[in-house]
Amino acid sequence: MTCELALPAWLDEFVGDWKAPLTSLEQRMRLAVALASENVKHRTGGPFGAIVVEDHSSRLLGVGVNLVTTLELSLAHAEMVAVSLAQSAARNWNLGAGSGAQLVTSCEPCAMCFGAVPWSGVKSIIWGASKEDAEAAGFDEGDKPPDWAASLERRGILTRGGVLKAEAAAVLKRYAKKNGAIYHPEKS
């Protein structure tokens, strides 16, 4: 039995336009939000996008879009896909080895993705839209400790939210307005 992360056909060409080093947080978040928007446009999954960037070179290590409905795989969140592909490219589960890496995601991580952050080895996580934005679109983001960002900081993982928040939240709103699939066991 196998499980394969098959990325949408449009993704390689789209990401090819973003190969230059992504030196600013805004550049990085623009790509994560653009991935979320393209995923909605092509109807290849949910309204979430994420990237992993190498700290010292600002080189893109991995990209991800939400593939839950496409792959029928509940763990195929954009962050999980981006981290998995970055680990595969680095040939190391620990993205903190060497110079480190940053996870940039179009939306605050859900409970599952929050739990995966420390084990991935990333040194920082940046997000755009908030949990409240995702929940306003109909998603259930799960339960996290009230001080979840501080708990990551205590582990040495830098956090910053609200980067290009309006742009990221707009993708969620468009998805909800188009009646995109909201995946949740109680809503299926």
- Tell me if 183 sits within 8 A of 68, measured CB to CB: yes
Torsion angle of alpha carbons 124, 34, 133, 137, nearest 10°?
Answer: -140
Q: What are phi and psi of 158, to 5 degrees?
A: -70, 145
Give the amino acid at 154: R
Tokens 């190498």 belong to residue:
54
Q: How far apart are CA 183 and CA 181, in angstroms?
A: 6
| Active-site option among 13, 38, 72, 79 | 79
Tokens 């980067």 belong to residue:
163
**Does 4 participate in catalysis according to the annotation?**
no
Query: Which residues are catalytically annotated?
Result: 79
